[in-house]
A and B are shown apart, each in its own frame.
Chain A
């Protein structure tokens, strides 16, 4: 890495702080290359909008980059990222709720609507029903049935107890089944 002119240590070795930044940048970028896509996929199921999902994931990696020097266990970074993405999606839900109330079938941006048009009516109904679930239930069913996490893994990602995951999953699936049957009628 090229040292900035005038910075301490510019004449010889790079300053320690720059080296730290470079190291953090490289490692966070490597994590991004490996994990950004699945995290965006997770976020899009939560938010329904690709642009919003990508924003949430970018924010999560930015938060990780800022915390990188203080991380004691960089091996837990993926878990941290997943939790941060879920928190970000919850925040989006709250902001939407306050701005316009939560509508049953939230209007999606054109790009997302176009994408969903390609997946067929049956899948669209399921995704619309998924978005009508309360956030905790939606998180639980996506983590359990899309990411195939165990109850314990989902509990750690959501920051809740295993029992809460269990009940949220059960209620979420029951609510989905009810809504889909109503749609099918």
Chain B
């Protein structure tokens, strides 16, 4: 029986048990009438489009004049922030996307973020499914993670790209022993020589064991494995693949996210939970994931603004940069269903040494229902990032205002759209630069 059929049967079995609901309790207060704004005047109804057309024409004319006066044409669609860091973002990316409209399989797409062009389209075999990708720092080397549905195990493929050549992409199976487990994180070292993966060997809170293993890319040998038993290890990587596993410090250290759940010390008395970043020196000896790693920082908790009826989590999305800065992307939204609110959102750099905010990379506070600022890549200094902004706007029929581009110096510079904007970009591990 397929997963879809099992889901249908289980959902029906569970919901069939519910035969009634408690009565509706409405307040005695009278619903307030909300004044509708006055319809736009007749002038606005035709004047606004005409004015917009005039502005577009003027901008187009100005661009033509600038191009004619500016000598050789610059590279199309490159980030226009004017900063050197923005210009040095990786050009090529690998994104996971649906194989076809009726298939549940995911393929790998190689794209060019300077011009939005497709470089290569890589399909898994019939029984396989790509479900995670990671990149080295050379803009040419990637590792794709694959799950075999017939023989349930995870294997890894080296993906080398040679854009705009006769053979733009080569996929080679890595000699790493398959893992019979749910792989929650993967990270290729920037020099492309080692692959770190994090995985669990069970799926319940009581018998789960978490492992972090570093493999040699050339031989496939496991160089070392760190292990963690106990009730806390059910938290890691719960939201997907590639969550918070990052190489820093000259490929000597792997940072990983670790959430500590709230703990009940006495009936009704709790020690609050926390979300932390830990650093593991992979050049040192040892096999204990917790004892051999150290806490780098604890992320600020989410805050609720009761007056504005909004919530914000400053570090909902986290990516450590190589030099000791941690880039945080926030999430937030309105606490009132269907009502947009002005919510301060930001990309910010935090010091891994002190845990304090260092600088704001980009900030906005426009009205949204909710927003989630994802960090897809950061430069070594943590001053610029490739960003994906998931923004839910008012009105259920309005598609989310998703944005893809570079943030830095307080500015957002859009990049050409991804090859498949509906792919796995909003899933951790679903895209790599």
Contact = CB atoms under 8 A, between A and B. Distances in A.
Contact of B400 (A50, A61, A159): A159
A164 to B, nearest CB: 6
A118 B15 CA distance: 12
Interface of B: 2-4, 6-15, 17-18, 20-22, 24-27, 30-34, 36, 97-98, 101, 103-106, 129, 131, 147, 149, 152, 180-182, 202-205, 208, 234-235, 238-240, 259-262, 273, 275, 301-302, 311, 313, 335-338, 369, 392, 395-400, 402, 420-424, 426-427, 430
Which 10 residue pairs of A and B lie closest in terms of their CB atoms, listed nearest first?
A163-B422, A70-B34, A126-B10, A41-B15, A123-B10, A101-B261, A177-B3, A69-B33, A161-B399, A21-B30
Q: Which of B20, B31, B104 counts the most chain A CB atoms within 10 A?
A: B31
Nearest to B398: A159
Interface in A122-162: 122-124, 126-127, 129-130, 132, 134, 136, 141-142, 145-146, 155-157, 159-162
A182 B14 contact: no
A88 B369 CA distance: 13
27 contacts: A18-B30, A20-B30, A20-B31, A36-B21, A61-B24, A69-B33, A70-B33, A84-B338, A98-B302, A100-B261, A103-B234, A122-B6, A122-B10, A123-B10, A146-B12, A155-B399, A159-B369, A159-B400, A160-B399, A164-B400, A170-B103, A170-B106, A174-B106, A174-B131, A176-B7, A183-B203, A185-B180
Contacts, number: 235
Given A80-B396, A146-B11, A176-B6, 6 more contacts: A41-B18, A126-B7, A161-B421, A173-B7, A179-B203, A185-B152
B30 A60 contact: no
Chain A contact residues: helix, strand, loop or mixed: helix
Contact of A119 (B13, B25, B302, B369): B13
Nearest to B4: A145
Q: Which of B7, B33, B98, B399 counts the most chain A CB atoms within 10 A?
A: B7
A171 B427 CA distance: 9
Contact of A65 (B11, B26, B131): B26
A160 B311 CA distance: 21
Nearest to B263: A100
B422 A115 contact: no
Nearest to A99: B262
Nearest to A160: B400
Nearest to B200: A104
A11 B149 CA distance: 75
B24 A28 contact: yes
B337 A146 contact: no
Interface residues of A, number: 91
Given A24-B31, A119-B17, A127-B14, A182 B181 contact: yes
Given A44-B14, A171-B427, A180-B6, A103 B235 contact: yes
Given A171-B106, A182-B152, A88 B10 contact: no
A61 B27 CA distance: 11
Given A70-B34, A161-B400, A103 B182 contact: no
A7 B335 CA distance: 34
Contacts of A119: 10, 13-14, 17
Nearest to B331: A94
B235 A102 contact: yes
Contacts of B8: 145-146
Contacts of A62: 26-27
